[in-house]
Structure 1
Amino acid sequence: MKFAGLKSIENAHEDSVWAATWVPATEDRPALLLTGSLDETVKLWRPDELDLVRTNTGHSLGVAAVAAHPSGIIAASSSLDSFVRVFDVDTNATIAVLEAPPSEVWGMQFEPKGTILAVAGGSSASVKLWDTASWRLISTLSIPRPEAPKPSDKTSSKKFVLSVAWSPNGKLLACGSMDGTICVFDVDRSKLLHQLEGHNMPVRSLVFSPVDPRILFSGSDDGHVNMHDAEGKTLLGSMSGHTSWVLSVDASPDGGAIATGSSDRTVRLWDLKMRAAIQTMSNHNDQVWSVAFRPPGGTGVRAGRLASVSDDKSVSLYDYS
């Protein structure tokens, strides 16, 4: 397995690019790359040429996260303006606007069947679940805070929730916090199953293996990528190689590799059998906020793709084979 640089767009946005995801292909079009930036816009790009399809506006502050519905028809963007905007991918028509208190919207992801949008609730120490048929809040999963904090004790603020991920079967939801802990919930029962240990700094990104719903990968400011058994509460291994924070992690569709983006300005490819980094890409000149593998599906798709975005305002695309 390896990466080959395909194309990079400098100044893809007018400010830092913090978020990227792929909108799945539909019958009428291929998968599209969706990016969000501190310039308050969301942009859609063609999957091979990185040609700009559309620029979406609607936020009044920078975009912190983006998420795509598995149907490929709708997507969502969250902003520092405390709103989540849900929109039609092909027309940019606003479908819903979800409001949250300040600093309450960070990572978010649609459930694999598309019925729920999970939003990491920042300083509220919770994950909010929104029904995608009615766009009503249906549940709030609370992260346990340290017991009996003193008035001067600031540890409760460390439960700030940064990241969220669904298991492929939609049964488990994991969320990562500022203090390095990861909570795993049984969504049907709205029950906290356990907390996963292993990091001692913020967990900014989570992803489940697409081929094993038990396996969860986490990226942290401690520079490590951890591999967990999310059901068995077991740390299976820890991979190191980045020289600074791991800001993003994503799993390849074949389940054989993960990619990471870091504030050390690199993108790395990791072989999961070797549990080691096998390739480093250094085409960004500032920290890499997000990496995203293109999902399978669509006509005429011959190669795997990975996208990365950075504080340097650029978007890069790689072949994965």
Structure 2
Amino acid sequence: MTTSNENIINNETQNSSTIDPKELENIKKLCKLSIVNTINSYRLNTQQKLQSSEYQNNISTTSDNSDNDYRKIQLYSKIKDEYDRVKDMTPIVYGSKPQQQPNKPVTKQAGTTKPTVDKPTIEEDTQELDNLINSLPKQEEKKRKLDHSYNNALVIHNTLNTFNNNNNNNNATSNDRSLSLLNAAFAYDKPEWHPQWKLMRVVAGHTGWVRAISVDVRNEWFCTGSTDNTIKVWDLASGELKVTLTGHISAIRGLEVSSRHPYLFSVGEDNRVLCWDLEHNRQVRDYYGHSKGVYAVAMHPTLDILFTGGRDRVVRVWDIRTRAPIFQLQGHRNAVASLISQSADPQIISGSHDNTIRLWDLASGTSAATLTNHKSSIRAMVQHHKEYTFASAGSDNIKQWKCPEGAFIKNLSGHNSILNALALNQDNVLVSGGDNGTVHFWDWKSGYCFQKLETIAQPGSLHSEAGILAMSFDRTGSRLITCEADKSIKFYKEDDQSTPQKNPIASDWKPSFDNKRY
């Protein structure tokens, strides 16, 4: 490189005889300085910069030394192309191990302390340079590595476009469409293993369909409501009947045990909303206002407010103590079948047979949002204990939603039945009960169905009466109680013999990428 530049300078000198000798000498110096700066730019990482005086003393180098400079420049160009994105590189680029130098004494100059550091020694063997240059990965090898890691990348880097342009047109289309996509497998939670569940006990006592259930806060007893117009209180540990409450003149459709009062609230198809004193086992209040059958009841977790909804398409808000109506939440065009309440907004959520879910603003008494994703009536809803989410069930599928705006999360498809009941415990086990007597167990986070059961109708009942009408976990989440159309109450518990080896997660399970909102 130096020889060729000198030839250019000499040629220009011969062609410019009219130029002043001093100016010509300055031009030569500037050209030489430019050559020195060019060489230094390639030797930036080697800490071997040339000085202008050094160049002038060795300006007449041999052709062998010039070839050696070319090889160095070629090496630096390859390394710069290969590791341009690396922030920090070792100062030794030839691969030779630096010699270990003894600790040098610290020298003091002008009040400052600076340790003396020897520059690393670099072998400049020509054969070693050839081996190192040839060992650098070629562009095609680097492309194959990137293509191999393409499937595991979260986001495809834009540099893949460079390689795609060099490929055939057939391969370019398949790669280009993925440049802006996330790896979908990372967007889904992997299924968590849960033990299998098995039938524990069958309790009989009702003479009609068992349509409602509620569990005591202290986990000592639970109560059920039936189409035989009675409410029965059962011992949770033994399953023995403790007391029977009578007062309704039609089928009981909903029960709610207060967490802060010794009260039980019941609603039925006789248009009545009753309050029971469980200390004396008698009716103490009657809330009048519904003109048709009442199907759902819920209580506010922190306020003395009761919510009821039914066939009159109205969600009514009551003051528990004064029995005064606070709001009449109107907007549904069919019967209100399910209600859930929470302390944060929206404080009341209603599901209806008009295929919609409404999120209500309790402060103003108006509908804050309407969810129209379901294609069939919403018969059951359940909220998560810790997350700010809830699930709804219809005959199409189970859908998960996020509060407070009611954003759609995902579908849980596969339970091909009219779903009447949902239950969720603290271990993120979601259970759905169908009208055909099937019970499906789901992992809440991933939506994986890890078990399917089918109830058996009790002796004396028709096969068509093997339907799940209501269900609930106990307060510990270790026992599942189902209310069925064969007039029985069944207990389920976790199977002690279930292990991940015996009941593994299905190896062929894959998250559904066709997660439609409707």
Which band: TM-score by shorter chain?
0.7 to 0.9
- In structure 2, what is the Cα distance between the partners aligned to 1:48 and 1:58? 30
CA contact (8 A) 1:4 1:320 kept: no
Q: Cα gap change, 1:231/1:171 in structure 2, threshold over 3 Å: closer, same or farther? A: farther
1:167 corresponds to 2:314: no
- Structure 1 residues 133 and 235: CA distance shift in structure 2, 3 A: same
AA aligned to 1:268 is K
Supply the distance in 1 between the matched residues of 2:203 and 2:225 (Cα, whole angstroms).
Answer: 13
- Within-5 A mapping of 1:41-56: 48-56=195-203
SS for the counterpart of 2:416 is coil
Aligned to 1:279: 410
Q: Which amino acid aligns with 1:61?
A: G
Residue in 2 aligned with 1:138?
Answer: 284
Moved over 6 A (4+): 1-7
Counterpart of 1:319?
443
Q: 2:378 touches 2:393 (CA, 8 Å); kept in 1?
A: yes
Partner in structure 1 of residue 243 of structure 2: 96
* TM-score, scaled relative to structure 2: 0.47
In 1, the alpha carbon distance for the partners of 2:196 and 2:438 equals 14
Compute the displacement of 1:244 (Å). 0.6
Higher strand share: 1
Q: Is the 8 A contact 1:114 1:132 kept in 2?
A: no
Structure 1 match to 2:361: 229
Structure 1 pair 97/212, CA: closer, same or farther in 2 (3 Å)?
A: same
Preserved CA contact (<8 Å) 2:297 2:306: yes
Shift of 1:193: 0.8
Q: Secondary structure at the match of 1:179?
A: coil
Q: Does residue 291 of the first structure (1) align with residue 392 of the second (2)?
A: no
C-alpha displacement of 1:105: 1.2
Change in Cα spacing, 1:185 to 1:131, as seen in structure 2 (3 Å) is: same
Q: Extract unaligned runs of 5+ from structure 1.
A: 8-46, 146-158, 297-302
Q: Does 1:184 align with 2:317?
A: yes
Change (3 A) 1:285 1:6: farther
Please tell me whether residue 244 in structure 1 is matched to residue 376 in structure 2.
yes
Shift of 1:282: 2.0
What is the CA-CA distance between 1:214 and the residue it aligns to? Answer: 6.3
Which residue in 2 is equivalent to 1:119? 266
For residue 275 of structure 2, what is the aligned residue in structure 1? 129
1:270 corresponds to 2:401: yes
Q: Identify which range, 225-234 or 165-174, moves more after superposition.
A: 225-234
Task: Give the distance between the partners of 2:345 and 2:405, measured in 1 at CA.
Answer: 20
Aligned counterpart, 1:17: none
CA contact (8 A) 1:250 1:258 kept: yes
Q: Give the helix-richer structure, 1 or 2.
A: 2
Using the TM superposition, give the Cα deviation of residue 187 of structure 1 relative to its aligned residue in structure 2, in angstroms.
0.4
Tell me if structure 2 keeps the 8 A contact 1:111–1:170: no
CA contact (8 A) 1:106 1:163 kept: yes
Task: Indicate the structure whose relative CO is greater, using CA pairs within 8 Å and at least 6 residues apart.
Answer: 1
Deviations 1:244-284 (A, max 9, x none): 100011211125111011122x1111122552332111222
Query: Is the 2:395–2:416 contact (alpha carbons within 8 Å) kept by the matching residues of 1?
Result: no
Tell whether the 8 Å contact from 1:121 to 1:161 is kept in structure 2 after alignment: yes
Residues in 1 aligned to 2:188 and 2:316: alpha-carbon distance in whole angstroms: 32
In 2, are the aligned partners of 1:72 and 1:89 still within 8 Å (CA)? yes
Match of 2:228 among 70, 81, 90: 81
Using the size of structure 1 for normalisation, the TM-score is: 0.75
Instruction: Quote the Cα distance in structure 2 between the aligned partners of 1:167 and 1:228.
Output: 13
The sequence identity of aligned pairs, in percent, is 23
- Cα-to-partner distance string for 1:184-229 (whole Å, 9 max, x where unaligned): 00102211111001201000000002x4276100000011111012
Q: Is the 8 A contact 1:268 1:277 kept in 2?
A: yes
CA deviation after TM superposition for structure 1 residue 129, in Å: 0.6
Structure 2: unaligned runs, 5 residues or longer: 1-186, 446-518
